[in-house]
Amino acid sequence: METFELFTPKKWGSIDLKNSIVMAPMTRCRAIGNVPNELMAKYYQQRSGAGLIITEGTSPSPNGLGYARIPGVFNAEQVEGWKKTTSIVHKNGGKIIVQLMHSGRISHPLNMPKGTHIFAPSQVKAAGQMWTDANGLQDFVVPNEMTVQDILHAKTEYISAAENALFAGFDGVELHAANGYLLEEFLSPVSNIRTDEYGGSIENRCKFVIEVVAAVAQAIGKEKTGIRLSPYGVASDMPHYPEIDATYDYLSKELNKLDIAHIHLVDHSAMGAPEVPLEIKKLIRHNFKNTLITCGGYTKESAESALESGLTDLVAFGRPFINNPDLVERFQNNWPLSEDLNMDLFYTADEKGYTDYPVYKI
């Protein structure tokens, strides 16, 4: 009988996974009042066949709540809400980590609680618009440039949120340094035009990211800490810049020194974004010795090939998990994948297009 790498148990940090399939983080906007709920627990329960689930982007701070109805993990009510999800996923034999996503300048005041601020490394406004439940689509605003004190405070918020994640029952955290949110905003010389120790050179632009990763790893354990990166990604108005290769070469080497559990490399070319060059993937694979997760447009066959080639250790699937809650079982049994995917319901508020996709019927 043929053995597939996809279905072979693997390790993430010190945790045993039942297979090599990761459910990628996907914003779904069902956290009413920014509090995780029963509906979200059901959604993740349905998909707990994955070896590892990475949750939707979850804010470590009231200042990071950029989108309507995204969850946080910075207060007691949110921690209690997340316990519903982690307990049911663990009961089903799955493992789950929370993605900590501070949205930075990708935000709008109408989505924010009172007394909060939209922060970024520099006062550089992102092109594009943000959905608000109050007034529909609104242009992004000019963010507040973070002072060094703001940077220090944001770092403590990441630490506190990571500790809260463990209280909520998560197996670890993934720091979102991709897709144009706060951490990546520091990496890019387009969004980061600072002239102090956090701007200018590659080393300075990587400084905040490295400090946050190091602080979180120290607080909860390096074996429970991962990071997501999107070199060459253009999401959230992140144009390309000449030093991309050198930036991610340096950053991946520094992350390797911290001995964290994983780097999660996302390539959105399947959805029309520029492709992440194979050379960059191989460079990061060479520089980083622990688990590499790759994500972006994989089929069962291409995922198996990537695992067998050694390019990656785990493969993440995003959209296929939306309309195929039993994705792993479909892969294992060679059942066809559902093609019924309602994109209009990706970010709505109820169960439609969320927990109502059926499992395969023989």
Question: How big is the chain, counted in residues?
Answer: 362
How far apart are alpha carbons 290 and 306 in whole angstroms?
16
> Judging by DSSP bridges, how do beta strands 144-145 and 173-177 pair with one another?
unpaired
Q: Of 44, 181, 250, 357, which is the active-site residue? A: 181
Cα separations in angstroms, 42 against 45, 89, 177, 344, 352: 5, 9, 28, 21, 13
* Residue 17 structure tokens: 């996974």
The letter for the amino acid at 245 is D
How far apart are alpha carbons 307 and 137 in whole angstroms?
41
How far apart are alpha carbons 260 and 77 in whole angstroms?
29
- The three-point CA angle 44-263-149 to 5° equals 95
Cβ–Cβ under 8 Å, residues 241 and 202 = no
How far apart are alpha carbons 252 and 219 in whole angstroms?
21
Cβ–Cβ under 8 Å, residues 208 and 98 = no
- Give the contacts of 45 (CB within 8 A, at least 6 positions apart): 85, 88, 89, 92
How far apart are alpha carbons 24 and 320 in whole angstroms?
10
3 state SS of 33: helix
The full DSSP string for 80-92 is HHHHHHHHHHHHT
The letter for the amino acid at 217 is A
354 carries an active-site annotation: no
* Residue 133 structure tokens: 């439940």
Cβ–Cβ under 8 Å, residues 55 and 97 = yes
Catalytic residues: 181
